[in-house]
Amino acid sequence: MVCFRSISKLVNGEIPEVVEADLESLVNADRSHFHPNTAAHIIESQGAKFFLKGEGVYLEDTDGRKYVDAYSGMGNVILGHGHPYVIQAIKDQLDQLCYVPAFFAYGNSPSALLAQSLADVSPNGLNHVQFANSGSEANELSFKLARLHHTVRGKTEKIKFISQRGAYHGATYAAMSAGGIPSYQQHFGPMMDGFIFVDMPDIYHSTSENVGADCAVDLEQTICSEGPETIAAFIIEPIMGVAGHLIPPPNYYPMVREICDRYDVLLIADEVVCGVGRTGKFFGLEHWSVVPDMMTLAKGITSGYQPLGATVISDAVWESILSVGTDYVFPHGTTTSAHPVCCAAGLATLEVVQRDNLVQRSHELGKYMLDDFESRLSENPYVGDIRGLGLLASIELVEDRETKRKFASDRAIGRKVYNSSMQGGVIVRTAKDIVSLRPPLISTEAEIDKIVEVVANAINELATSDVTTT
Ligand code: PLP
């Protein structure tokens, strides 16, 4: 039996009471509603898989079965589930002040403190924060600000954006238009004008000796052919997530920074996945010692306990806003921007990350995880590439290691690994034939051992069963 609130009582206008209901009713109640990035017909025909509890790295389903959440939800639950410190901070904030707008020059203490804390941990020169409710919205603001920055300096034609093919920047229209994944745009066209794409270095698949420089040159040529006077910003995912955690070579982002400076193009780092310690540094771009002009954050910023995004901007972009004039009312925000409860969750999350040295832990544990995967999988004929930074890793499976030929999609190899991992009690994410992991930063070595054992077994089983028999 599981508990949920009576819908009939709600419709009658009474305060709903908690009633006992069986799982079937719960699943049925959900069937005609649609879930994000999910096939609607699957929800309708099979129903969703429900989880009832979460504790530490574990999620528990309705049969009482426990799984290691090796993808931290969506990569966001960096402190694991049910962290008492963050929960207490949320409760305390609810008791004290549930909501006050950030509009009309009103403030609240968690948002002021969190903005200051984020500015403190951000690279030099990135000192000004506005909060949003998601990564998509944080990116929307960065696009608006890029145009404002150029326009107020008289560069009114600088309105286009360059983005990386394969990148994901969110679900709202500008963020979707900046996304380099065509299937996410299908049926929603036309995309917004002014988004142009360049390649992201893909070390594993590239045949070039110097793919970082090639892609940087491609960026420069694209800027020049479009006309530098028309390009507002280049938005990057420091490590490209949905595409399978592509990690560019050391020379790429320093070259990108130089090119952006040369043509007065702002560099926007979408740190929604990489930010807050995921990659073993506080921000992903720190691995390349490059400072962007704007940074967007979400996911780990509250460990997923509350919805929150943030856009962190440089002094120069801030000056552009100020330069509009003393009467200028910056016309952007949503009702729940800088929500005190979300910001309290963010503040508590940052405190735990710093108190427990979780950025360093992500670095060390990530290396431990990667080394173990390498020792268990390096001989597997279907393992093409194992890559990772901090507690973010991907294993790319190929049919032929020599030629890097991919499996035919109907072989559903990724799905098979996902299913075997679930059977073994570990939740991973697979996109095509790339298995991706983002374990919580609070994981223990024993929990990482379990993840590696189950996932490596699932992949090694392929060599003896699914692949050879197809
Ligand atoms: N940017 C990146 C790199 C992401 O991975 C995501 C979401 O997965 C987003 C932006 C959008 O964030 P949100 O889903 O919070 O809107």
Is the beta carbon of 136 within 6 A of some atom in ligand 1?
A: yes
Question: Residue ranges per domain, the chain?
Answer: 1-43, 49-82+358-469, 86-355
Written as six digits, the tokens of 447 are: 């929990």
Is the beta carbon of 241 within 6 A of some atom in ligand 1?
A: yes
Ligand 1 pocket mutation pick from 78, 136, 164, 239 by most atoms within 8 angstroms of CB: 136
Closest C-alpha to 316, from 127, 137, 70 = 127
**Distance from the alpha carbon of residue 306 to the mean position of ligand 1, in angstroms:** 15
The residue count for the chain? 470
Is the beta carbon of 237 within 6 A of some atom in ligand 1?
A: yes
Protein residue with its CA nearest to atom 10 in ligand 1: 169
Protein residue with its CA nearest to atom 7 in ligand 1: 170
Q: What is the predicted pLDDT for the residue at 24?
A: 85
Quote the Cα angle for 369-371-373, to 5°: 70
What is the SS3 assignment for 315-373? HHHHHHHHHCCCCCCCCCCCCCCCCHHHHHHHHHHHHHHHHCCHHHHHHHHHHHHHHHH
Ligand 1 pocket mutation pick from 168, 242, 246 by most atoms within 8 angstroms of CB: 168
Question: How is residue 71 annotated by DSSP?
Answer: T
Q: What is the predicted pLDDT for the residue at 457?
A: 97
**Distance from the alpha carbon of residue 397 to the mean position of ligand 1, in angstroms:** 25
**Distance from the alpha carbon of residue 410 to the mean position of ligand 1, in angstroms:** 28
Q: What is the predicted pLDDT for the residue at 5?
A: 59
How many whole angstroms separate alpha carbon 447 and alpha carbon 68? 8
CATH number of 86-355: 3.40.640.10
For the sheet with 51-55, list strands across it: 51-55, 58-61, 66-69, 426-427
**Distance from the alpha carbon of residue 167 to the mean position of ligand 1, in angstroms:** 10
For ligand 1, what atom is nearest to the CA of residue 170? 11
Query: 354: how many CB neighbours lie within 10 A of its CB?
Result: 14
**Distance from the alpha carbon of residue 35 to the mean position of ligand 1, in angstroms:** 16
How many whole angstroms separate alpha carbon 309 and alpha carbon 131? 6
**Distance from the alpha carbon of residue 319 to the mean position of ligand 1, in angstroms:** 27
State how far the alpha carbon of 159 is from the alpha carbons of 150, 405, 421, in Å: 8, 39, 46
CATH topology of domain 49-82+358-469: Aspartate Aminotransferase, domain 1 (3.90.1150)
Q: What is the pLDDT along the chain (470 residues), one digit of tens a residue?
A: 565 555 555 566 666 666 667 788 888 888 989 899 898 898 988 899 999 999 999 999 989 999 999 999 999 999 999 999 999 999 999 999 999 999 999 999 999 999 999 999 999 999 999 999 999 999 999 999 999 999 999 999 999 999 999 999 999 999 999 998 999 999 999 999 999 999 999 999 999 999 999 999 999 999 999 999 999 999 999 999 999 999 999 999 999 999 999 999 999 999 999 999 999 999 999 999 999 999 999 999 999 999 999 999 999 999 999 999 999 999 999 999 999 999 999 999 999 999 999 999 999 999 999 999 999 999 999 999 999 999 999 999 999 999 999 999 999 999 999 999 999 999 999 998 999 999 999 999 999 999 999 999 999 998 776 554 44
Ligand 1 pocket mutation pick from 273, 296, 311, 429 by most atoms within 8 angstroms of CB: 273
**Distance from the alpha carbon of residue 376 to the mean position of ligand 1, in angstroms:** 32
Helix (H, G, I), strand (E, B) or coil at 268: strand
> How would DSSP label each residue in 365-399?
HHHHHHHHHHHHHTT-TTEEEEEESSS-EEEEE-S
Which residue in the block uniquely carries the two structure tokens 């020599």? 402
Protein residue with its CA nearest to atom 5 in ligand 1: 273
Is the Cβ–Cβ distance between 145 and 294 less than 8 Å? yes
- In this prediction the pTM is 0.96
For ligand 1, what atom is nearest to the CA of residue 171? 16
